[in-house]
Structure 1
Amino acid sequence: MAKILIIEDDVKIRTELSNLLTCYDYECILIESFEHVIEQALSSEADLILLDINLPYVDGYHICKGIRAASSIPIIVVTSRDSEMDELMSMNLGADDFVTKPYNIQILLARIASVLRRTQRHQELKAITYKGLTLDLSQSKVSFENQEVELTKNELRILHLLMKHQTTIVSRDEIMNELWQSDEFVDDNTLTVNINRLRRKLEDVGANDYIMTKRGQGYRL
């Protein structure tokens, strides 16, 4: 269940929006005190923020900028200010979408679902976890029990392929086809060398016996 933080000072709109989203299986967090909104937002662990612009103490632009400086949590600005300048300002400060009031409920729900899907895909591209082992694709690192080690390009591709297939056996030909994408020639012996190096690096962080050899078939986790 996705968790949505609603930053809206109009009590009626805030309540109606919360009731609506709850009916569509979202968990809602409501901010009712607006003195320290940025701090509340960053500690909320929300999956998405719905943010009004006209707020007490500081406006939504300031809040959007403050949140974005410390977090990549998606933000949809929902406001009655409907000028192109407002939309442009919101996007330039890091908002993911802009919806004007009064909004069409189905369109708002579609925008929320779209942003959440996009965020989820991005997170999946950045990291993948299996049996306590986390592969950080953006940093080319693998971690296990608070220890981490850097991987080469080929080691990263091999482990990513195996983690995507998890318990399924991946043939040597499939792995070599994956490595071929690097525009480097990879022969059978080179693959064996890369597999052995990857195993040693996993052992260095305490992930022993993660890669199993299936003789005549390939490898699996």
Structure 2
Amino acid sequence: MVKVAIVEDDKVIAEELCNYLKEWNFSAVCMDIEKDLIKQLVQEKADIILLDVHLPGVNGISLCRQLRQQLDTPILFISSDADRMQMVSAYEYGGDDYIVKPFDKMVLIAKLNALVRRMKQKTGGDVLCCQGVELHLRTCQLTYQGKEMEITRNELKILEVLMSNPGVIVSRSDLMMALWNSDCYVDDNTLSVNIGRLRKKLEDIFQLDDFIHTKKGMGYYI
């Protein structure tokens, strides 16, 4: 499920957008504009950022420029201003698209879907992306915010299954089948060891301590 971070100072509009995106099978979360937005957006690891141009105390275009120093996440600007020079600045400083308020919500969905298609074309079939993490299936590498990490075959298979099904709980049995073509060929604890080692790598190298989640009695999910 594609995750959209909404940066909008009007709480009513932000909540409406959040609910509407969820109806179209997007995962949506509203940022707290009274707190450090850059820190929130980096930590949120969204797939797309919906960013208002006019925010209290900060210009959205300036914020985009700062974000581009840490993130390459697609940014769709929303604004009540249709000024051409402002639109040009939005694109020049790292924006991917621009939509003017009031806008048809179906147009918004179309623009978001277009960004999703571009992301898929960019990565191709040999790369899986989730929350800013990229899994390179051919080279057995993991990349995140400019850092690279070598992973084992088992770690590759675990991530391939989980990242292909973001937000979906994958049972231990299904993971064991993916790794060893059997859910009883090895000791059940072997999977726990592999998951544990992978989590430690993610935390030590990428500082990601919440990428792989456990649902007690059910399995794992991202």
Match of 1:173 in 2: none
Question: What is the CA distance between 1:123 and its match in structure 2?
Answer: 2.2
CA distance in 2, matches of 1:75, 1:107: 16
CA contact (8 A) 1:50 1:77 kept: yes
Question: What is the CA distance between 1:58 and its match in structure 2?
Answer: 1.1
The 5 Å alignment of 1:187-206 reads none
CA distance in 2, matches of 1:74, 1:3: 11
The 5 Å alignment of 1:32-51 reads 32-51=32-51
Match of 1:96 in 2: 96
Tell me which amino acid in the other structure corresponds to 2:28. C
Tell me which amino acid in the other structure corresponds to 2:95. A
Question: What is the CA distance between 1:114 and its match in structure 2?
Answer: 0.3
TM-aligned CA distance change 1:135 to 1:82, over 3 Å:
same
Deviations 1:121-166 (A, max 9, x none): 2123784644992399xxxx994449xxxxxxxxxxxxxxxxxxxx
Match of 2:162 in 1: none
Match of 2:140 in 1: 133
Identical aligned residues as a percent:
27
Q: Which runs of 5+ in 2 are unaligned?
A: 128-134, 154-222
Please give the secondary structure, in 1, of the residue aligned with 2:28.
Answer: strand
TM-score, length basis structure 2:
0.58
| Rg (Cα) greater in structure | 1
Deviations 1:41-71 (A, max 9, x none): 1111100000001111211012111111111
Match of 1:6 in 2: 6
TM-aligned CA distance change 1:53 to 1:8, over 3 Å:
same
**RMSD of aligned Cα (Å):** 2.6
Provide runs of 4+ in structure 1 moved above 3 Å: 125-132, 141-146
1:59 aligns with 2:59: yes
Match of 1:81 in 2: 81
Question: What is the CA distance between 1:100 and its match in structure 2?
Answer: 0.4
Deviations 1:165-204 (A, max 9, x none): xxxxxxxxxxxxxxxxxxxxxxxxxxxxxxxxxxxxxxxx
Please give the secondary structure, in 1, of the residue aligned with 2:82.
Answer: coil
Aligned length: 142
Question: What is the CA distance between 1:29 and its match in structure 2?
Answer: 1.1
CA distance in 2, matches of 1:110, 1:102: 15
CA distance in 2, matches of 1:111, 1:101: 14
The 5 Å alignment of 1:163-178 reads none
Q: Which runs of 5+ in 1 are unaligned?
A: 147-221
TM-aligned CA distance change 1:10 to 1:77, over 3 Å:
same
CA contact (8 A) 1:78 1:100 kept: yes
CA contact (8 A) 1:5 1:46 kept: yes
CA distance in 1, matches of 2:101, 2:17: 12
Please give the secondary structure, in 2, of the residue aligned with 1:63.
Answer: helix
TM-aligned CA distance change 1:131 to 1:124, over 3 Å:
closer
Question: What is the CA distance between 1:32 and its match in structure 2?
Answer: 2.2
Match of 2:20 in 1: 20
TM-score, length basis structure 1:
0.58
25-34 or 122-131, which deviates more? 122-131
